[in-house]
């Protein structure tokens, strides 16, 4: 990635300012945040945020006790198909928090740590859309794509290897339990386990 | 976020709803690669780990000695949290996922819930008790109905019968009340009525029973709830009611019988054994024992109590059969011994017949042999499988005179070979049950002489306790062993035999392992902790084995020694591990005591 001072000069780059300025500082710790969003439909531009979950991962440890698990009080009309995927009916969302509050909480939780996920590009786009609206900047954090690490490791020696790159496929190949698939929190835990296994375990050997 | 482990089992079930809710929010998840050391000796544990997936092994510092293994829902290392640091090394054998409850949160729960803290801070016995208290099923006695099991068939006399004759009939039938039939009606007369009429009233032995019988019968219907009969008895201040079906009298229901139905059927069975006049009736009673064991165990009766009750009933059963088969003349010139587990009073479900006989006179042998065959057959009918090793009084080597037995014991003891030693071990648990018990006294005295005990013989005798490996790495090998362990070889036999060897050395005459342990404790051979630990371990083995034996469908569930590990609750697995650990320690004690390492 280009240095921060250079990035700031790029047209279209929107760095955080004021309250969120620290997000753009380089990260020195050894934690990552694993994050997952569930949306009303699977579309970067239209999908409305319904729930978001995130945990901090340090070494082999998943800090479940300090996890973030938010449901958003959204009126978005959900695709009946999507409901079947994430089970968040409009009724379930009534008790949730306002989307602006959720976004602030996520930003506080994440700080300047790297953000990791499965198909993280989608979550990044969704979050950036909201953050741009509310605070007029885009997440400067480093993003880590779990499936990318997976592919890189697998194809290191056999470049033409056929891989099953679905969430379930990865979980199966890595022998990681799939916990409550399609709840934000469940997906986050499975993703975090994949991440630990791909990075932490291999470094030891 | 729901937690992927079952929190509805001890120790978590001791927590309140709110505490559980709080607990689930305090758990972290930790992922370990295969081979990773989770905790090492001297480490301060961050908290207690609850295994979600994978296997963790507890070893000594250099990884040589394996203490224990932990599988799904097992908890470690509580001691490291309660004390200052970890004493052993914990290694993930497979990739392992554990929930981690931080030390301060765990301690907070201990402070808040006394049951929860008692579970962790106390020894095996108390832990087990606590678990059992919680898992008892609600007894269904309140729903029991009047049926064949609870009533006695009626015994009738005519109104003209003399009081003396009625008394004789009552004595013969072992009934406390009989029905009196006259031309017009049916009445009842009880033992108390007879006493009152003759001793307090003016009736004589020759008076007619119709004069004192009561003709206002209190009736209940067959199939009614038992407690409705109880209510009627309380209302009328009586101890028995008449049971009718479609208007006909089918039997009598006694208060005593009913109470025993309420608290299992043990009294009824005891009564049937006493009242049996043929072997066939005894067989019926014997076959009922298993149902009794099942219901006692289901009601959460302690295994010690079941053991005592069943031992008493078994011996009584054998004695009755003996009385029916042997003529009076021979009854006093023989002594029948039960050996092995039956002799120790530790047999619950029938395993095999281990028995022997002492003859007073060698010339009775010919007369006794066919009778022994009959008794053997009766025992088979009662459901005792034959002893595979042939330790039975139908075989010549287990029939002897007093002198013969004394000589045999000496030969066994001095042989120094494993086989005679095992015979000796079986014989050492002998308990005389029928016939002339006096015959056994000189035989028993023959192996309690000082010269035998202090010699090499006691070491030779103790050695078989080490014969089988303690299955302490069972969790990792679960697939290889098809998920089972042999609880007799792995746990019960070494414990029982080791205690037997010590009992032999210190000339303790008790046979029951628990009694022997108490005596050894009194003699300061074993310390408090070892004694209690071994008792707890033995009872746990027996209870767990019994539970699994009862669950399976087979003709002789008592023969099965395989313990299925996956059908144990995780808390029982952890108790089993502790118990096996005790046995392992005890074996080490035996090695040191008898210097067995040089054998």
Whether B94 and B54 have beta carbons less than 8 Å apart is answered as yes
Share of chain B above pLDDT 90, in %: 3
The pLDDT value recorded for residue B480 is 43
The pLDDT value recorded for residue B24 is 85
- The rounded distance, in Å, linking the Cα atoms of B429 and B269 is 26
Hey, is B106 helix, strand or coil?
helix
Asked if residue B559 is part of any domain, the answer here is yes
Same domain membership, residue B307 and residue B244: no
Name the DSSP class of B217.
-
What are B68's two structure tokens? 């224990």
Tell if the CB–CB gap between B30 and A61 is shorter than 8 Å.
yes
Query: For the whole model, what pTM was predicted?
Result: 0.52
Q: How confident is the model at residue B308 (pLDDT cuts 50, 70, 90)?
A: confident
Rg (CA), chain A: 17
B37 CB neighbours in chain A (<8 A) are none
Of residues A65, A177, A200, nearest to B27 (C-beta)? A65
- Looking at chain B, which residue has its C-alpha nearest residue A196? B31
Asked if residue B434 is part of any domain, the answer here is yes
Which has more pLDDT, B139 or A152? A152
For residues B94-120, give the mean pLDDT. Answer: 83
Same domain membership, residue B117 and residue B163: no
Same domain membership, residue B353 and residue B279: yes
The pLDDT value recorded for residue B263 is 47
| Domain stop point among B262, B294, B328 | B262
| Domain stop point among B447, B475, B496 | B447
Q: Which range among B53-67, B433-447, B454-468 has the greatest average pLDDT?
A: B433-447
Same domain membership, residue B561 and residue B500: yes
Asked if residue B131 is part of any domain, the answer here is no
Same domain membership, residue B154 and residue B115: no
Same domain membership, residue B440 and residue B534: no
For residues A70-95, give the mean pLDDT. Answer: 71
- The rounded distance, in Å, linking the Cα atoms of B32 and B76 is 15
- Looking at chain A, which residue has its C-alpha nearest residue B1? A185
Which has more pLDDT, B139 or B340? B340
**Least confidently predicted of A88-97, A190-199, B202-211, B587-596:** A88-97
A186 CB neighbours in chain B (<8 A) are 1
Question: Range of B94's domain?
Answer: 12-121
Transcribe B10-41 into DSSP letters: TTGGGS-HHHHHHHHHHEEEEEE-TT-EEE-T
**Least confidently predicted of A46-50, B242-246, B553-557:** B553-557
Q: A interface toward B at CB cutoff 8 Å?
A: 60-65, 67, 69, 175, 177, 179-180, 185-186, 189, 192-193, 196-197, 200-201, 204
Whether B470 and B587 have beta carbons less than 8 Å apart is answered as yes
Tell if the CB–CB gap between B32 and A180 is shorter than 8 Å.
no
For the domain that residue B89 is a member of, what is the CATH number? Answer: 2.60.120.10
Asked if residue B453 is part of any domain, the answer here is no
Same domain membership, residue B219 and residue B76: no
The pLDDT value recorded for residue A113 is 93
The pLDDT value recorded for residue B137 is 35
Q: Is the pLDDT of residue B532 over 80?
A: yes
Same domain membership, residue B381 and residue B287: yes
- The rounded distance, in Å, linking the Cα atoms of B466 and B498 is 9
**Least confidently predicted of A145-154, B12-21, B78-87, B321-330:** B78-87
Whether B433 and B315 have beta carbons less than 8 Å apart is answered as yes
What does pLDDT average to over chain A?
83
Q: How confident is the model at residue B261 (pLDDT cuts 50, 70, 90)?
A: low
Interface test with B, best of A201, A202, A204 (most B CBs within 10 A): A201
Q: How confident is the model at residue B126 (pLDDT cuts 50, 70, 90)?
A: low
The pLDDT value recorded for residue A39 is 85
Transcribe B156-172 into DSSP letters: EEETT-BHHHHHHHHHH
Asked if residue B129 is part of any domain, the answer here is no
Asked if residue B191 is part of any domain, the answer here is yes
Q: Which range among A182-186, B102-106, B118-122 has the greatest average pLDDT?
A: B102-106
A68 CB neighbours in chain B (<8 A) are none
Same domain membership, residue B353 and residue B396: yes
**Domains of chain A by start residue, with CATH:** 28-204 (3.30.420.10)
Angle subtended at Cα B370 by Cα B369 and Cα B373, rounded to the nearest 5 degrees: 90
A53-56 long-range contacts (CB < 8 A, ≥24 apart) are: A53/A183, A53/A184, A53/A185, A53/A187, A53/A188, A54/A106, A54/A109, A54/A110, A54/A188, A55/A188, A55/A189, A55/A192, A56/A31, A56/A32, A56/A109, A56/A113
The pLDDT value recorded for residue B95 is 85
Tell if the CB–CB gap between B30 and A204 is shorter than 8 Å.
no
The pLDDT value recorded for residue A88 is 67
Residue partners of B429: CB distance under 8 A and separation at least 6: B339, B340, B341, B343, B344, B500, B511
Tell if the CB–CB gap between A60 and B31 is shorter than 8 Å.
yes
Q: How confident is the model at residue B550 (pLDDT cuts 50, 70, 90)?
A: confident
For the domain that residue B157 is a member of, what is the CATH number? Answer: 3.10.580.10
- The rounded distance, in Å, linking the Cα atoms of B481 and A181 is 34
**Least confidently predicted of A1-15, B143-157, B169-183:** A1-15
For residues B143-157, give the mean pLDDT. Answer: 78
The pLDDT value recorded for residue B475 is 46
Q: How confident is the model at residue B575 (pLDDT cuts 50, 70, 90)?
A: confident
Tell if the CB–CB gap between A67 and B1 is shorter than 8 Å.
yes
**Least confidently predicted of B303-312, B468-477, B552-561:** B468-477
Hey, is A122 helix, strand or coil?
helix
Share of chain B above pLDDT 70, in %: 87
A63 CB neighbours in chain B (<8 A) are 28
Whether B97 and A193 have beta carbons less than 8 Å apart is answered as yes
Q: Roughly how many angstroms between the first and final C-alpha of chain A, as a whole number?
A: 28
For residues B454-469, give the mean pLDDT. Answer: 78
Same domain membership, residue B474 and residue B363: no
B99 CB neighbours in chain A (<8 A) are 64
Q: Is the pLDDT of residue B149 over 80?
A: no
For the domain that residue B510 is a member of, what is the CATH number? Answer: 1.20.120
B27 CB neighbours in chain A (<8 A) are 64-65
Whether B109 and B23 have beta carbons less than 8 Å apart is answered as yes
Residue partners of B424: CB distance under 8 A and separation at least 6: B409, B412, B413, B447, B461
Tell if the CB–CB gap between B28 and A175 is shorter than 8 Å.
no
Of residues A61, A179, A193, nearest to B28 (C-beta)? A61
Q: How confident is the model at residue A82 (pLDDT cuts 50, 70, 90)?
A: low
Number of structural domains (chain B) is 4
For residues B311-327, give the mean pLDDT. Answer: 87
Q: Is the pLDDT of residue A87 over 80?
A: no
Tell if the CB–CB gap between B31 and A196 is shorter than 8 Å.
yes
| Domain stop point among B397, B421, B447 | B447
Same domain membership, residue B254 and residue B273: no
Looking from the CA of B282 toward its CB, the CA atoms found within 13 Å total 25
The pLDDT value recorded for residue B536 is 87
Tell if the CB–CB gap between A61 and B26 is shorter than 8 Å.
no
For residues B378-402, give the mean pLDDT. Answer: 86
Whether B339 and B535 have beta carbons less than 8 Å apart is answered as no
Interface test with B, best of A56, A64, A171, A182 (most B CBs within 10 A): A64
The number of angstroms, rounded, from the C-alpha of B103 to the middle of its chain's C-alpha atoms is 40
For the domain that residue B403 is a member of, what is the CATH number? Answer: 3.30.460.10
Q: How confident is the model at residue B142 (pLDDT cuts 50, 70, 90)?
A: very low
Q: Is the pLDDT of residue A8 over 70?
A: no
For residues A79-83, give the mean pLDDT. Answer: 64
The pLDDT value recorded for residue A86 is 62
What does pLDDT average to over chain B?
81
Asked if residue B4 is part of any domain, the answer here is no
Q: B interface toward A at CB cutoff 8 Å?
A: 1-2, 4, 25-33, 36, 53, 95, 97, 99-100, 102
A189 CB neighbours in chain B (<8 A) are 29
- The rounded distance, in Å, linking the Cα atoms of B318 and B328 is 16
- The rounded distance, in Å, linking the Cα atoms of B53 and B3 is 13
Same domain membership, residue B407 and residue B272: yes
For residues A130-137, give the mean pLDDT. Answer: 89
Q: Choose among B21, B51, B22, B23: nearest CA to B38.
A: B51
* Alpha-carbon distance values, A159 to A145, A166, A168, A198, B473 (Å): 19, 19, 22, 18, 42
Q: Is the pLDDT of residue A144 over 90?
A: yes
- Looking at chain A, which residue has its C-alpha nearest residue B23? A65
ipTM confidence score: 0.80
In the beta sheet, which residues pair with residue A57? A32, A62
Per residue in A158-175, pLDDT tens?
777 788 888 888 888 888
In the beta sheet, which residues pair with residue B248? B245
Asked if residue B7 is part of any domain, the answer here is no
């Amino acid at each position: 990635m280009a240095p921060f001072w250079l990035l700031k000069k790029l047209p279209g780059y929107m760095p955080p300012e004021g309250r969120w300025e620290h997000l753009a500082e380089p990260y020195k710790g050894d934690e990552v945040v694993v994050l997952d969003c569930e949306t009303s439909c699977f579309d970067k531009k239209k999908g409305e945020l319904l729930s978001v979950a995130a945990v901090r991962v340090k070494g082999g440890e998943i800090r479940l006790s300090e996890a973030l698990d938010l449901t958003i009080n959204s009126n978005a009309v959900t695709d009946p198909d999507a409901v079947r995927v994430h089970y968040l009916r409009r009724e379930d969302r009534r008790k949730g928090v306002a989307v602006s509050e959720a976004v602030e909480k996520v930003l506080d939780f994440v700080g300047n740590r790297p953000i990791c996920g499965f198909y993280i590009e989608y979550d990044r786009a969704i979050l950036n859309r909201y953050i741009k609206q509310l605070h007029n900047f885009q997440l400067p954090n480093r993003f880590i794509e779990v499936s990318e690490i997976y592919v890189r490791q697998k194809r290191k020696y056999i470049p033409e290897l056929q891989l099953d790159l679905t969430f379930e496929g990865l979980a199966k190949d890595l022998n990681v339990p799939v916990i409550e698939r399609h709840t934000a929190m469940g997906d986050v835990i499975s993703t975090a386990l994949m991440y630990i296994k791909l990075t932490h375990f291999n470094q030891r050997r | 976020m729901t937690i992927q482990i079952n929190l509805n089992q001890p120790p978590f079930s001791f927590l309140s709803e709110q505490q559980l809710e709080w607990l689930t929010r305090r758990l972290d998840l930790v992922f370990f690669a295969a081979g990773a050391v989770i905790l090492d000796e001297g480490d301060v544990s961050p908290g207690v780990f609850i295994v979600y997936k994978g296997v963790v092994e507890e070893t000594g510092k250099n990884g040589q000695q394996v203490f224990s293994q932990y599988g799904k829902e097992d908890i470690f290392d509580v001691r490291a949290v309660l004390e200052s640091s970890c004493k052993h090394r914990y290694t993930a054998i497979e990739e392992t996922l554990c929930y981690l409850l931080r030390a301060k949160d765990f301690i907070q729960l201990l402070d808040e819930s006394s049951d929860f803290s008692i579970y962790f801070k106390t020894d095996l016995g108390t832990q087990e008790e606590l678990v059992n208290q919680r898992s008892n099923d609600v007894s269904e006695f309140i729903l029991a109905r009047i049926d064949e099991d609870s009533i006695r068939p009626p015994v009738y006399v005519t109104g003209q019968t003399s009081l003396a004759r009625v008394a004789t009939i009552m004595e013969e039938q072992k009934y406390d009340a009989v029905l009196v039939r006259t031309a017009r009606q049916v009445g009842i007369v009880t033992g108390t009525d007879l006493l009152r009429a003759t001793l307090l009233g003016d009736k004589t032995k020759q008076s007619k029973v119709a004069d004192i019988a009561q003709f206002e019968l209190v009736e209940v219907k067959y199939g009614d709830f038992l407690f409705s009969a109880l209510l009627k008895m309380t209302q009328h201040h009586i101890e028995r009611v008449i049971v009718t079906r479609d208007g006909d009298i089918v039997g009598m229901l006694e208060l005593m019988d009913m109470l025993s139905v309420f608290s299992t059927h043990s009294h009824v069975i005891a009564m049937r054994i006493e009242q049996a006049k043929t072997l066939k009736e005894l067989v019926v009673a014997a076959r009922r024992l298993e149902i009794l064991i099942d219901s006692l165990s289901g009601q959460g009766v302690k295994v010690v109590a079941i053991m005592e009750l069943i031992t008493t009933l078994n011996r009584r059963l054998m004695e009755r059969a003996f009385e029916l088969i042997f003529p009076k003349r021979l009854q006093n010139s023989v002594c029948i011994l039960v050996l092995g587990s039956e002799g120790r009073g530790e047999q619950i479900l029938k395993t095999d017949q281990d028995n022997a006989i002492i003859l007073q006179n060698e010339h009775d042998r010919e007369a006794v042999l066919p009778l022994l065959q009959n008794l053997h057959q009766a025992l088979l009918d009662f459901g005792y499988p034959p002893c595979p090793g042939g330790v039975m009084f139908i075989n010549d080597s287990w029939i002897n005179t007093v002198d013969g037995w004394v000589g045999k014991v000496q030969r066994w003891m001095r042989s120094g070979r494993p086989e005679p030693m095992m015979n000796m071990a079986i014989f050492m648990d002998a308990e005389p049950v029928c016939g002339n018990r006096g015959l056994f006294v000189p035989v028993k005295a023959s192996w309690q002489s000082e010269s035998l005990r202090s010699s090499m013989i006691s070491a030779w005798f103790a050695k078989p306790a080490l014969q089988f490996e303690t299955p302490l790495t069972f969790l990792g090998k679960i697939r290889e062993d098809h998920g089972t362990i042999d609880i007799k070889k792995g746990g019960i036999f070494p414990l029982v035999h080791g205690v037997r060897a010590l009992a032999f050395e210190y000339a303790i005459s008790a046979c029951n392992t628990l009694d022997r342990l108490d005596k050894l404790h009194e003699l300061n051979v074993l310390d408090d902790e070892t004694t209690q630990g071994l008792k707890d371990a033995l009872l746990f083995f027996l209870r767990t084995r019994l539970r699994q034996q009862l669950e399976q469908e087979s003709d002789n569930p008592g023969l099965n020694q395989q313990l299925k590990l996956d059908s144990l609750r995780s808390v029982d697995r952890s108790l089993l591990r502790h118990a096996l650990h005790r046995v392992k320690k005890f074996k080490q004690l035996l090695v040191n005591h008898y210097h067995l390492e040089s054998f």
